[in-house]
Structures are given as structure tokens and as C-alpha cells.
């Protein structure tokens, strides 16, 4: 186990009706920037409820709406400008990971004199941020309890993750009933995202016994409840377990002590940056091909353990057979249990023209990952996924 500093200070208010805790925002000042996407939070009544509580607590509410999936640097700039012009004290995101990521970047950019994109490229420049709060409406990225935000500049085909302790939310409301109306497709993509976060940690180049077991706990939860949430969108236990899995997959809990280097995420970020596809779908498409690519004498034991402990496969002396079966189970889960497209062609990526440049950029993000990947490896994985 590696040395680590563990600190997850976000206060989580979990369960039905916990939005009432938004009154606690008054602790951070009197002016709040409410960040959200489209009209769905209005349709669901969350917007009205939040305004009622915030105004009841004496807060003045400013708004940044229209945040898009793969949130754009333009929204961040707009939000930071609003904060500076109005001396806003805190940001509150209501939405999924994109909205929360945008709010985090706004909170940091509001405390920075230069252009917000500087902070995306160089998060070390983040020296402060406004207090960040969130109400989660989609279980996926874990942004509600972590230190990361992913921001895109589509004009440059750039999508980068930024991390800083200043980006950790102070408090997040996790009400599973808010995800009842999440579409089948977004539920599947979100579950794939949580799965991928967990797998990125699980396949670590060093040994962390308890961390691996915690990863398996999350993976088994996703395998059990993902399909139930698709079949019964208002199944509370399914939505609650997926929601709590999303937070714990990436908040540091399963990675602290591990030597973790992600690779499927950097590969997928290039797909989203170049083709604007749904992040979770890109991850689900790439993951089994990445697994096949890195399965070897050196990694077969880990894949064997994955097969036995996560998928409940029968122990066997043929460790490669179990490992390959585990990879098949993974693909089957994404495609047949969650109904996610199986190939890049299925999400509209039919050419190969950007693969080389994408692979070169992705390779930079893959440094330190489980099995080192060259740009050529990554091109092969993209091709296999076509």
C-alpha cells in the first residue's frame, strides 16, 4: 500500500427530501450563483423548491443556465464574470456532473485574475475558489464529492480534467428520487461511467488488498442495480445504490493507497473532444477492447481475480480462460444488460482520420497507468472498437 493523505470533507445529505439542507448555504454568505443546464430541473420542480429554500434563508440568487454536456469554457467564463461583477459568495450546481463541473470551474475562475482556461490547463494555479454546493440529479461522474472538473474547448477539440482540493464541494444533496426521471440511455451511460471510474482504480500497478475489495463492492453494486434501474426507473433502492456508488467510486476512497493511473478515461476524452459523443457510452465501448489489449502473462492474475470476485466465475486452472470470460462478461454487461452501443460506428464515428492525433494526446493522459500504452497501442484500441 502506498502512502497517502485521505481527506473527503464534503458533507453529504443523502435521501429523499434532503434538499431542505440548502438553507445551510446561508453559512457561506448572502449571494449564490445557481448553475444549471436546461429546463429539466424546472419540470421536476427542483428549481422552484430550491429557490423557495434559498430565498427563505435570505439568499439572493443569480443564475447561470444552459450548461451543456461536456461543459464549455464559454459557460465558465460567463459564470466567473457574473460572480466578479456581483460579488457573489458561493456557487450552487443543480444537475449532473457537467453542471457541477462547470460550477466548480466557475468557483475557481471567480477567484482568478486571468482567463479561466489557464486553470484548466494548469490547475496548480487554483489558489482559491468560492464555496461549492451541489444538488445531484444524475449518478455518474462523482463530481458531487470529488476534486475534479472536466471542461472542454470545442473550438480547439480540447477536453481536460482539472483537479484541486479547492474544487471539493462543501456540501452535496443526494436525493435518489431526483434520478427517477433520468432517461434509460443516460442511466446506462452514467452507470458505465461509475463502472469505468472503479475499473480505472481496480486495475492498478500496485497491490492494495482492501482497496481492491472496496472496488469489487462497488462493481457488484453496479452489476446488480444497473439493470434494475433501467427496468424500474423509480426503484428507490436501485437509484440510491447507484447514487452512493457514483460518489464513492471517485472521491478518493477506493484509490487512496493505490498507485492509480487512468487510461480509458483519457482515451475517451479524445473521442468526446473530437466527436462530442456521450462520455459513458465512449467508456463502455472502449473498456472491453482496452482489457483485451492489455491481457497478458503479466496481467492475467488480476483479470482472473476480477472474474472470480466480481463476476462470480468458477475458479479454474486455465487462468486465461477465466480472464477472457471476465472480459466477455464486461462487454455483455454494457451491451446487453445496459443496452449501450457496442461500437464506435454505432455512435457515429466511422472514419479513422483523427485516431493518430487523438492517440498522441491521450497517451499523455495515460502516463503511469496499469499497463503503459503508446500512441500506437491506443490507435489499435480505437480501431478494435470501430
Nearer to a copy of itself, 145 or 286 (CB): 145
Query: Taking a C-beta distance cutoff of 8 angstroms, is the pair 134, 91 a contact?
Result: no
- Is residue 3 at the binding interface for a copy of itself, with CB under 8 A as the rule? yes
- Is residue 11 at the binding interface for a copy of itself, with CB under 8 A as the rule? yes
Nearer to a copy of itself, 164 or 278 (CB): 164
Torsion of the alpha carbons at 271, 276, 280 and 282, rounded to the nearest 10: -30
Taking the C-alpha atoms of residue 68 and residue 49, their distance in angstroms, rounded to an integer, is 22
Closest Cα partner for 379 from 280, 281, 286?
Answer: 286
Minimum Å gap between C-beta 15 and a copy of itself is: 3
- Give the single-character DSSP code of 72: B
In terms of residues, how long is the chain? 386
Interface stretch with a copy of itself, choices 53-61, 109-117, 233-241, 275-283 (CB under 8 A): 233-241
Number of residues that bind a copy of itself (CB under 8 A): 40
Interface stretch with a copy of itself, choices 4-12, 85-93, 259-267, 376-384 (CB under 8 A): 4-12
Taking the C-alpha atoms of residue 48 and residue 44, their distance in angstroms, rounded to an integer, is 9
259 SS3 class: coil
Closest Cα partner for 202 from 135, 291, 90?
Answer: 291
Minimum Å gap between C-beta 373 and a copy of itself is: 28
Interface mask toward a copy of itself for 249-268; x: CB under 8 A: ----x--xx-----------
Interface mask toward a copy of itself for 261-300; x: CB under 8 A: ----------------------------------------
Type and span of the H or E element at 357: helix 355-365
Torsion of the alpha carbons at 202, 204, 207 and 210, rounded to the nearest 10: -20
Which residues, 181 to 220, sit near a copy of itself by CB under 8 A? 207, 209-210, 213-214, 216-218, 220
Interface residue list for a copy of itself (CB under 8 A):
1-9, 11-18, 176, 207, 209-210, 213-214, 216-218, 220-221, 224-225, 236-237, 240-241, 244-245, 248, 253, 256-257
Amino acid at each position: 500500500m502506498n502512502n497517502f493523505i485521505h481527506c473527503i470533507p464534503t458533507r453529504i445529505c443523502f435521501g429523499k427530501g434532503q434538499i431542505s439542507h440548502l438553507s445551510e448555504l446561508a453559512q457561506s454568505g448572502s449571494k449564490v450563483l445557481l448553475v444549471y443546464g436546461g429546463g429539466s430541473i424546472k419540470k421536476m420542480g427542483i428549481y422552484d423548491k430550491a429557490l423557495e429554500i434559498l430565498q427563505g434563508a435570505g439568499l439572493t440568487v443569480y443564475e447561470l443556465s444552459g450548461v451543456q454536456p461536456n461543459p464549455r469554457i464559454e459557460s465558465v467564463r460567463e459564470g466567473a464574470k457574473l460572480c466578479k461583477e456581483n460579488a457573489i459568495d458561493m456557487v450552487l450546481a443543480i444537475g449532473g456532473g457537467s453542471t457541477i463541473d462547470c460550477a466548480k470551474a466557475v468557483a475557481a475562475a471567480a477567484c482568478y485574475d486571468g482567463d479561466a482556461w489557464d486553470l484548466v490547463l494548469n490547475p496548480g494555479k487554483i489558489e482559491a475558489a468560492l464555496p461549492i454546493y451541489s444538488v445531484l440529479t444524475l449518478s455518474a461522474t462523482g463530481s458531487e464529492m470529488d476534486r475534479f472538473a472536466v471542461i472542454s474547448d470545442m473550438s480547439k477539440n480540447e477536453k481536460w480534467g482539472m483537479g484541486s482540493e479547492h474544487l471539493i464541494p462543501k456540501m452535496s444533496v443526494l436525493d435518489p428520487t431526483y434520478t427517477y426521471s433520468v432517461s434509460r440511455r443516460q442511466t446506462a451511460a452514467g452507470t458505465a461511467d461509475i463502472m469505468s471510474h472503479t475499473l480505472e482504480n481496480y486495475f492498478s500497478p500496485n497491490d492494495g488488498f482492501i482497496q481492491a475489495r472496496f472496488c469489487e463492492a462497488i462493481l457488484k453494486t453496479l452489476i446488480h442495480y444497473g439493470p434494475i434501474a433501467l427496468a424500474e426507473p423509480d426503484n428507490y433502492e436501485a437509484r440510491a445504490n447507484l447514487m452512493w456508488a457514483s460518489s464513492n467510486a471517485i472521491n478518493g476512497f477506493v484509490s487512496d493507497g493505490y498507485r492509480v493511473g487512468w487510461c480509458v478515461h483519457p482515451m475517451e476524452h479524445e473521442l468526446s473532444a473530437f466527436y462530442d459523443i456521450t462520455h459513458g457510452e465512449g467508456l463502455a465501448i472502449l473498456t472491453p477492447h482496452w482489457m483485451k489489449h492489455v491481457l497478458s502473462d503479466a496481467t492475467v492474475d488480476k483479470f482472473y481475480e476480477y472474474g472470480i470476485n466480481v463476476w462470480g466465475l468458477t475458479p479454474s486452472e486455465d487462468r486465461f480462460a477465466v480472464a477472457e470470460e471476465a472480459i466477455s462478461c464486461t462487454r455483455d454487461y454494457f451491451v446487453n444488460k445496459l443496452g449501450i452501443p457496442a461500437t464506435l460506428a454505432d455512435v457515429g464515428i466511422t472514419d479513422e482520420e483523427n485516431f493518430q492525433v487523438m492517440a498522441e494526446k491521450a497517451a499523455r493522459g495515460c502516463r503511469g497507468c496499469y499497463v503503459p500504452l503508446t500512441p500506437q497501442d491506443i490507435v489499435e484500441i480505437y480501431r478494435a472498437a470501430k
